[in-house]
Structure 1
């Protein structure tokens, strides 16, 4: 590293860790959100984007130039997730724990224009991601606040609440909160539950105001999931069977309403056609009672042969039904 580059890094370190009054901004995001870092503060003038630069500094590292002359540097490892708005703000998409750190905006190389933004990122996940999901034992959730060392993290900065909003303290029914260490807190809960349970990790300030929070939904054990699915499938099958029986009964009732005419015992079973005809005077007066007669008409078709195709082989019989 040449002397000029080393001098620049030393200057940046001294400048930003002594703090600029009125130009320090604090931004809290949870993993997966988008962050918008402003290039202005209450004591700064509107910037000119064509001369704006954005720098990023993380504990134990060195300042990295992310934006030069208002344009994202393509060689940046995060170039695909970075962009600059019309007011020169820096946008970071899909924030991760690695994005936590100090960002500062500078105009035209003038350090007096610097605006510092301290980005902290809150994450929540199982402390042992590779644990066997088929086991019914307890699971421990880990909540961490990633930040720079200059951002304090006092005791009880991180707290846990359940799905009802009640704060979880110490040890209770089905849970145990471990003492907070630095900016990390652990919650151990039981997985033996018949439904999903949601737990929320919150980062609060000195006045206990929530600055950022992250949720984690704990699924029931797989064996209980199968029981639930089996119950739902069983209920659907029962409903389908009941519906089928109802349809069958209705069709059976319709069939019974139209009985087949009684066949004469001396007549052959096949090739018989029966028709019942009601004879009534359609022109009779509506006030006069009309006598109705029912007549059964029967046609018998003889077996057709090559030698006899005479249509007179049809035998008709008309009977008056008394």
Structure 2
């Protein structure tokens, strides 16, 4: 029952935005890793009565800001802050931040002025194989992988809206382009596939086999609406330095050789120790027998005439 209510609420919100024409003015598109500010045209002079509520379509509403104070029970409270104009700031946006943000002001329990409904849409790029090392910054990502291997980049738009609405009604489109802005669909070495998922309206994957000249090459996933750029994510491939690889190999070989020498020495010591002890016992016994002979039994040296 709760799931049906959530779906109804989401449908009403989207329908309301379509009928009032607020979609676009209240939509914010951002790339993961960046910072974003969700604005609110406040009615009161201060933000002590401001409440920001979050809804993602999967769970109940969560109050992020209550009476101008951050809710510490929220998982993202450390990344949130409230501006003097009551705008909500979110640092280092993640894919979990997409959804609907509602701002309201209350005085003595009565709502003041209109609500602000802001839909946050997050564009994110992931890479496979997952074994490659990767790093991300606020506006770009990069991965270290060897040439000759196949790599797949997946560009995903996380949104509450349906694909039919975003693509057909609003004219949204995802594109993979090179550094010069040329659509990679025109190059046969790239395989590009479009798909979707319940919480990721648009998924555009790019698959290619890396060449030597791809070192430090940049690809961009762009989100456009009616040919106007909304946001983009850059992805750069960086090959490991061959000198560093050779140095690491040399160190590894040296360490391995030293280990083998130590093992041989230990093995020799283990097997040689019993032999040395046995020789010492034999020598000691022989020396003891000579000392125990009677004087008359001791052979006299032959005197030469």
Which TM-score applies when normalising by structure 1? 0.59
Alignment of 1:16 onto 2:19 = no
Q: 2:221 aligns with which of 194, 201, 223?
A: 201
- CA distance in structure 2 between the aligned counterparts of 1:191 and 1:216, rounded to whole angstroms: 14
Contact 2:147 2:211 in 1 (8 A): no
* Of 217, 234, 238, the match for 1:219: 238
Deviation at 1:189, TM superposition (A): 2.0
Superposition deviation, residue 188 in structure 1: 1.0
In the alignment, which of 168, 183, 195 is matched to residue 184 of structure 2? Answer: 168
Provide structure 1 residue ranges, at least 5 long, that are not aligned to the other structure: 231-322
The answer as to whether partners of 2:100 and 2:120 remain within 8 angstroms in 1 is: yes
Contact (CA 8 Å) 2:10, 2:57: kept in 1 or not? Answer: no
Pick one of 173, 181, 188 that aligns with 1:157: 173
More helix by share: 2
* Mapped partners of 2:7, 2:128: distance in 1: 38
CA distance in structure 2 between the aligned counterparts of 1:49 and 1:212, rounded to whole angstroms: 30
Measure the CA separation in 2 of the matches of 1:86 and 1:11: 34
Secondary structure at the counterpart of residue 178 of structure 1: strand
CA distance in 2, matches of 1:160, 1:10: 32
**Paired residues, what number?**
218
Sort the Cα spacing of 1:46 and 1:58 in 2 relative to 1 into closer, same or farther, 3 A.
Answer: same
> In structure 2, do the counterparts of structure 1 residues 10 and 99 end up closer, same or farther at CA, with 3 Å as the change threshold?
closer
Instruction: Please tell me whether residue 190 in structure 1 is matched to residue 191 in structure 2.
Output: no
SS at match of 1:169: helix
Equivalent in 70, 82, 85 of residue 84 of structure 1: 82
Deviation at 1:70, TM superposition (A): 1.0
Instruction: Find out whether 1:101 has 2:116 as its counterpart.
Output: no
Number of the residue aligned with 2:119: 118
Question: What is the alpha-carbon distance in structure 2 between the residues aligned to residue 12 and residue 192 of structure 1?
Answer: 50
The structural deviation recorded for 1:45 is 4.2
8 Å CA contact retained: 1:158, 1:180: no
Decide whether aligned partners of structure 1 residues 14 and 113 sit closer, same or farther in structure 2, where only a CA change above 3 A counts: farther
Which structure: larger Rg? 1
CA contact (8 A) 1:191 1:219 kept: no
- The equivalent residue for 2:65 is 67
Extract unaligned runs of 5+ from structure 2: 134-144, 247-305
Relative contact order, CA 8 A, sep 6+: which one is greater?
2
Please provide the CA RMSD for this pair: 3.3
CA distance in 1, matches of 2:83, 2:76: 16
**Selected match of 2:51 from 50, 53, 57:** 53
